[in-house]
Amino acid sequence: MDPIADPSAPIATGRSRLVLIPEAVLRAVVDRAGGEVHWPGVGPVAAELAMAMPAARRLRQIEADPDVAAWLLRGIVVEDPTSPTGRRVAGHLGGHDRPDADGMVEVGYTVAAGDRGRGLAGAGAAAWFAWAHRRGARTAQL
């Protein structure tokens, strides 16, 4: 899938892929109130990541405007040969909304404790902003 033609397509970062978190996974995060959640085809979302995920807020935004989903929460998915799926969720990253009138986007992220210090957040933020820039964003605030 081409992230230019399809805004919900995964965004490659070189170290990971930023994969749009499905509504069903966001709902599971809300329902489990911070426990581990299974993401079909990807694997578990650790409790530490689920607890830091603004799932309820993002669901409200998507319910109000389904087209905003591509701007919101994406999993930082890395290859993992020990996982049954061959990959796992190392964190999450995404915008808080579309760009404002001045072209500014706010970006938030969380990386699992065991995956910090590997450059995943920096590479993810750079790739996400490049994606956002092609869609009208001019500046970003982390």
Answer yes or no: are the C-beta atoms of 24 and 62 closer than 8 Å.
no
Identity of residue 135 = R
Tens digit of each residue's pLDDT (9 = 90 or more) over 12-23 = 998 899 999 999
Answer yes or no: are the C-beta atoms of 44 and 38 closer than 8 Å.
yes
What average pLDDT is seen over the chain?
A: 93
Answer yes or no: are the C-beta atoms of 125 and 89 closer than 8 Å.
no
Answer yes or no: are the C-beta atoms of 90 and 77 closer than 8 Å.
yes
Q: Cα–Cα distance between 51 and 55 in angstroms, integer? A: 9
pLDDT given at position 5: 65
Q: Is the pLDDT of residue 3 over 70?
A: no
Question: In the sheet that 11-12 helps form, which strands lie side by side, from edge to edge?
Answer: 11-12, 17-20, 73-79, 87-95, 104-111, 139-141
| Number of helices followed by number of strands (H, E) in the chain | 4, 8
pLDDT given at position 87: 93
Q: Is the pLDDT of residue 34 over 80?
A: no
Q: Is the pLDDT of residue 7 over 90?
A: no
CA distances from 126 to 12, 52, 132 (A): 10, 21, 10
pLDDT given at position 4: 53
| Least confident stretch, 5-9, 18-22, 53-57, 108-112 | 5-9
Q: Which structural domains are found in the chain, ordered by start?
A: 11-141 (3.40.630)
The helix, strand and coil proportions of the chain, stated in percent and rounded to the nearest 5, come to 35, 25, 40
Residue predicted with more confidence, 103 or 4: 103
pTM: 0.92
Binned at pLDDT 50, 70 and 90, residue 1 comes out as very low
Q: Is the pLDDT of residue 142 over 90?
A: no
Tokens of 23: 């509504």
